[in-house]
Amino acid sequence: MVEWIGQRFGGYSLVRLLGQGNLADVYLGEDSSRHQQAAIKVLRTELAGQDVKQFLAQAESISRLNHPHIVRILAYGVENNEPFLVMYYAPHGTLRQRHARGTRLPITTIVSYVKQVAEALQFVHNQGLIHRDVKPHNMLLGADYEVMLSDFGIAVMAQKMGYRIQKVQEFEGTILYAAPEQVRGRPRIASDQYALGVVVYEWLCGSWPFQGTVEEIASQHTLVHPPSLCERISTISPAVEQVVFKALAKEPDERFESVQAFAKALERASRLEQPGYRIKQLTPHDLSPLPLSFLPMKTPSAEETVLPQVAQLSYTGHMDRIESVAWSPDGKRIASSSLDETVKIWDATTGVNILTFRGQSLQAQAISWSPDGVYMASTGGLSSERVHIWIASTGRISAKHASYDSHTERVLAIAWSPDGMLIASASEDATVQVWNAMTGRTVFTYRGHSSAVKTVAWSGDGRRIASGSEDKTIQVWDATSGGNIFVYYSHRDKVNDLSWSRGGTLIASASDDGTVQVWDAVTGRKAFNYSGHTGGVTTVCWSPDGTRIASGGLDETVQVLNVMTGNTLFTYNGHSDWVSSVAWSPDGKRIASGSWDKTVRVWDLTR
């Protein structure tokens, strides 16, 4: 309060009032003998006896938080029964003072602020602590305009001293940023992420997601989805909106796995903004689970029969581990690539080797048939940045097509467009490049991922491309402009493979998190998780009729599941090492699987 001006706390004389909050007042303090300034926070309560010990213990704990984006506690104590904290003085005020209520900020500025705040919060969360009061008022600007988070644990400290919040009315000042579980009095680490999400929402559109009386705001946090950012401000990217909405999920477990993951996702989404590019706007309903009628059942249906786990054909022509297998469009041939520096094409019925391609001494990583089955595109380890196109019947480099070498690191996946005119190639350089198969000219480069892109696939109509990455995301984007349509965040480890459903409405994705996830390719609503594998899932492929999904993993099995029920139909145990690739025959009657055991096996689903 103003009457404390001129008083001394911790050796500092209070010069002027810097700010006021619900629990404390902050003054500028000066120590004339040492020519130092500090911010003195005087809590609005008097202490005695046991309360003094509790305050000192809590202050000691907070003072140990040493991080460049956390305001440092220099000293603490109790004078005349008044508890106080001596803190580093941030000379440029708070972000609330710098950006008044209603101010909209550029996404680049928001990302810069959020990354710094998230670093501080992650540091504290890693120690099992919760801030509980994340808002612009508690984000200070240091001497070099770096963002520094203050007031860690002040709410907890006040409660331990007997300053208990008994009613929601006393929550004012924080209620605008309070997570649903915090409104209910059960804050969690994820509550800080929610509060930071509200801050980002406010900075993006200049308004809080919820307004009204304290009771009304508390109720809205708990029950109501926030209004669409894209509808409020047409220039906001749908990708950015989706990141914010995930952080604002009502259930803590549905938010990002950490506050730092939220910050990274926001930074990625900010790079996806395409001026003038717009897609179907996503609503909170689009982010909710799919209808119960689409969820997997608990027990297998009567027609699900376990078939004999015997391969119809085993191909053992490779001398090193298999990286990829692919059926020709007519179903008569299978191509397999290996780290033995070959791509082999062989008869899908007899297993007789038809052709071995050794061009450019490559350790073949990725292969793809042209839609007409005349050509193959391949790439690999020793010629890491280059994609070759060659004639599938002769093994000679095609004179009609151009090789492509615009990537700066190893290419991990390639896919022809349905019309055969373009190729999408995914690389360790974190890009997907779409290029003309005839000229080799780059059409555009997609840069939405933050780390190596491991898989890429075109939708059946050729209008969209999906790519999966070691950054744990799958990104769906426009195949003409490269504009981002959707980012899927539900995997908890790197994404190894993905496959579009026949109609292009669903995507199945495989991850090192041990799951195959099936989800809507437009809204991202998850249908179900399949967790039949006992280790990471390396490969996934949708059946041509769209009713089944095949997957392979580190557990050396190939598993087939019923899409409508989510139940396992068959499990094949023929491989003796990791399964690296699975592919359905065009007629849907057979599955080819490649493994690190150096074999390709063909499974007959009709036997």
CATH classification of the domain holding 12: 3.30.200.20
Q: What is the pLDDT of residue 154?
A: 60
Choosing from 241, 267, 287, the residue where a domain stops is: 287
Q: What is the pLDDT of residue 134?
A: 95
Q: Are residues 125 and 271 in the same domain?
A: yes
**Which range marks the domain in which residue 250 is found?**
95-287
Q: For 223-374, where are the E strands, in sequence order?
A: 313-315, 322-327, 333-338, 343-347, 353-357, 364-369
Q: What is the mean pLDDT of the chain?
A: 84
Interval 281-292: pLDDT, tens: 333 333 333 333
Q: Are residues 347 and 489 in the same domain?
A: yes
The answer to the question of residue 582 being in a domain is: no
Q: Is the pLDDT of residue 2 over 50?
A: no
The answer to the question of residue 580 being in a domain is: no
Q: Quick one: average pLDDT of 384-391? A: 85
Q: Is the pLDDT of residue 511 over 70?
A: yes
Higher-confidence position of 308 and 480:
480
Q: Which residues have CB under 8 Å from 561's CB, separation 6+? A: 516, 530, 532, 548, 549, 551, 567, 568, 569
The answer to the question of residue 61 being in a domain is: yes
Q: Quick one: average pLDDT of 295-302? A: 37
The answer to the question of residue 607 being in a domain is: no
How many Cβ atoms sit within 10 Å of the Cβ of residue 250?
17
Q: Are residues 370 and 259 in the same domain?
A: no
Q: Which residues have CB under 8 Å from 368's CB, separation 6+? A: 326, 376, 377, 378, 414, 415, 416, 423
Q: Are residues 338 and 465 in the same domain?
A: yes
Choosing from 548, 582, 597, the residue where a domain stops is: 548
The SS3 of residue 262 is: helix
Q: Is 546 exposed, middle or buried (0-12, 13-18, 19+ CB in 10 A)?
A: middle
Q: What is the pLDDT of residue 286?
A: 34
To the nearest whole percent, how much of the chain has pLDDT over 70?
Answer: 87
Round the CA-based radius of gyration of the chain to a whole number and report it: 29
Q: Are residues 344 and 375 in the same domain?
A: yes
Q: Are residues 537 and 410 in the same domain?
A: yes
Q: Are residues 168 and 267 in the same domain?
A: yes
Q: Are residues 50 and 193 in the same domain?
A: no
Q: Are residues 21 and 107 in the same domain?
A: no
The answer to the question of residue 593 being in a domain is: no
The answer to the question of residue 230 being in a domain is: yes
Q: What is the pLDDT of residue 500?
A: 95
Determine the Cα–Cα distance for residues 38 and 41; give it in Å rounded to an integer.
10
**pLDDT grade, residue 82 (50/70/90)?**
confident
CATH number assigned to the domain comprising residue 340: 2.130.10.10
Higher-confidence position of 293 and 5:
5
The SS3 of residue 395 is: coil
**pLDDT grade, residue 384 (50/70/90)?**
low
Q: Quick one: average pLDDT of 445-450? A: 93
Q: Quick one: average pLDDT of 298-325? A: 66
Judged by average pLDDT, the poorest of 180-189, 208-217, 298-307, 500-509 is 298-307
Q: Quick one: average pLDDT of 502-513? A: 92
**pLDDT grade, residue 171 (50/70/90)?**
very low
The answer to the question of residue 369 being in a domain is: yes
Q: Are residues 122 and 251 in the same domain?
A: yes
Q: What is the pLDDT of residue 380?
A: 58
Choosing from 242, 259, 287, the residue where a domain stops is: 287
The answer to whether the beta carbons of residues 337 and 345 sit under 8 Å apart is no
Q: What is the pLDDT of residue 145?
A: 84
Interval 229-278: pLDDT, tens: 999 998 898 889 999 999 999 999 999 999 999 999 998 888 764 333 33
Q: Are residues 57 and 183 in the same domain?
A: no
Number of domains present in the structure of the chain: 3
Q: What is the pLDDT of residue 598?
A: 93
Q: b/e string for 328-353 if b means 16 or more Cβ within 10 A?
A: beebebbbbbbbbbbbbbbebeebee
Q: What is the pLDDT of residue 322?
A: 93
Q: What is the pLDDT of residue 52?
A: 80
Determine the Cα–Cα distance for residues 171 and 195; give it in Å rounded to an integer.
14
Q: What is the pLDDT of residue 379?
A: 82
Q: What is the pLDDT of residue 307?
A: 43
Q: Which residue has the tokens 């097509």?
A: 401
**pLDDT grade, residue 310 (50/70/90)?**
low
Interval 127-164: pLDDT, tens: 888 999 999 999 999 888 899 998 875 645 544 444 44
The answer to the question of residue 212 being in a domain is: yes
**pLDDT grade, residue 22 (50/70/90)?**
low
Q: Is the pLDDT of residue 280 over 70?
A: no
How many Cβ atoms sit within 10 Å of the Cβ of residue 473?
25
Q: What is the pLDDT of residue 5?
A: 84
Q: Are residues 59 and 107 in the same domain?
A: no
Interval 454-502: pLDDT, tens: 999 999 999 999 999 999 999 999 998 888 888 999 999 999 999 999 8
> How far, in whole angstroms, is CA 203 from its chain's centroid?
22
Interval 36-52: pLDDT, tens: 899 988 887 777 777 78
